[in-house]
Amino acid sequence: MKEFKVLMVDDEEEFVRTLDERVKMRNLDSNVALSGEEALDILAKDAPDVMLLDLKMPGMDGMEVLRRAREAYPGVQVVMLTGHGSEKDEAEARRLGVFEYLRKPVPIEKLMKVLKSAYEKKLQDSMVAATFAEAGEFGAAQEIMDKDKKR
Amino acid sequence: MKETLFMGRITATVTHEIKNVLAIIRESGGLMEDFLNMVEGDNFKYKDRFHKIISNIEDQVVRGDAISTLLNRFAHSPDADVASENVPDLLDQMIVLSARLAKAKEIVFKSDKDSGVILISSDPIRIRMLIFQAMDVLMNYCKPGQTILVNSKVNDSKLITLEFSVDSKTQVLQEFEQIILSDQWKDLISTVESLDSKAFINPENGTLRLELRSNDNR
């Protein structure tokens, strides 16, 4: 039984395939997308718990994928992993609600810790929202979802 | 200025690509280690040797990452005409980026790690060039094997001092007297004056001192 599902998005195929293999060895269910467009396709069909997202990619860049993912799939926690990021990029990603912003290269132990924390955040948010929904507080549940979107 | 921006932009882009290369090397080495850890007991004769090699790869990735991070900051220095920066960070940046040149001359630069934060508002390229010119002069006039300690401090009048002092002073007196006559020193003086600052050389105690004025203190 895998712990949770991760989608890894990066146009550096050698990097993302190797990382995919390492993450799978650590008992996570993992999938790979080599572009922003492919990531959105996968999100629409089979949303992961956490998305690990590169910033600079040909075509749709990571910031745009983050923007759309937070809008359409607020339950998916997003972790940025980039070799290109400036402080301005980091500030923008945080404004859009990224869970964590990491710079390449990152040790696997640190990455695993961040992915697990992101998953715990997702669980926490959905539990709180479910509690409000059970109590008939649909407005409050929606508010939590909206707040999470803006986080 | 356009030329400097061009050089900076290309260099910054390449440092990002180097980070991608380092990330692939790190993950590939890491995957090898994952597989190695699956080997039970003494089934693989070279297990320890492989662990050592993978550890060496990781160490070099960390080294390359530190260099490319500093080179990236250096490449972004033309982005602004004036910037507020931490002098000890600038010093460390220039020491790391000049390490190969210093090594070739068998000279070691060591910065004082207890300086704290000393902010200077100045031309980001000229201030780096000045620090490098001071290091370059010393690399040419010091003897192989010498260590140069660099201390940065700020006084009550907000005058920032960078002092380079040679460890074994008795050997440098004669050489230091020649520095003032050199073209390198003239170039350094030209840079320091453009920053409304001052440079001094003291053969008696083997020191080179830069007195820097922050733009917001002129």
C-beta of residue A2 within 8 angstroms of C-beta of residue A28? yes
Identity of the residue numbered B197: S
Contacts of A56 in chain B (CB under 8 A): 16
Q: Rank A81-90, A134-143, B53-62, B165-174 by mean pLDDT and report only the highest.
A: B53-62
The predicted structure's pLDDT at residue A139? 65
Cα(B86)–Cα(B118) distance, rounded to whole angstroms?
Answer: 5
Q: Who among B17, B24, B61 is closest to A18 (CB)?
A: B24
Q: Who among B17, B24, B61 is closest to A15 (CB)?
A: B24
Contact: A12, B20; criterion CB under 8 Å: yes
- For the residues B61-86, what does the mean pLDDT come to? 92
Residue with tokens 């395939």: A17
C-beta of residue B8 within 8 angstroms of C-beta of residue B76? yes
Residue A92 Cα distances to A79, A85, B13, B131, angstroms: 13, 11, 20, 34
Contacts of A12 in chain B (CB under 8 A): 20, 23-24
Q: Is the pLDDT of residue B172 over 80?
A: no
Residue with tokens 């929606």: A142
Residue B140 Cα distances to B162, B197, B208, angstroms: 19, 23, 13
What does the domain layout of chain A look like in residue ranges?
5-120
Q: Does B24 touch chain A (CB under 8 A)?
A: yes
- For the residues B56-78, what does the mean pLDDT come to? 93
- For the residues B31-47, what does the mean pLDDT come to? 88
Of the options 3.40.50.10490, 1.10.1740.10, 3.30.930.10, 3.40.50.2300, the CATH number for the domain spanning A5-120? 3.40.50.2300
The predicted structure's pLDDT at residue A146? 59
The predicted structure's pLDDT at residue A151? 47
The predicted structure's pLDDT at residue B169? 58
Q: Is A95 helix (H, G, I), strand (E, B) or coil?
A: helix
Q: Does A12 touch chain B (CB under 8 A)?
A: yes
Q: Is the pLDDT of residue B176 over 80?
A: no
pTM, entire model = 0.78
Q: In Å, how far is B120's CA from the nearest CA of chain A? A: 20
What mean pLDDT, rounded, does chain A reach? 89
Model confidence at A138, pLDDT cuts 50, 70, 90, reads low
The predicted structure's pLDDT at residue B111? 93
Residues B152, B155, B159: CA angle, nearest 5 degrees: 80
Model confidence at A147, pLDDT cuts 50, 70, 90, reads low
The predicted structure's pLDDT at residue B173? 64
Going from the N-terminus, what domains does chain B have, and what CATH number goes with each?
2-78 (1.10.287), 82-217 (3.30.565.10)
pLDDT digits (tens, 9 = 90+) for A79-120: 999 887 778 899 999 999 999 999 988 999 999 999 999 999
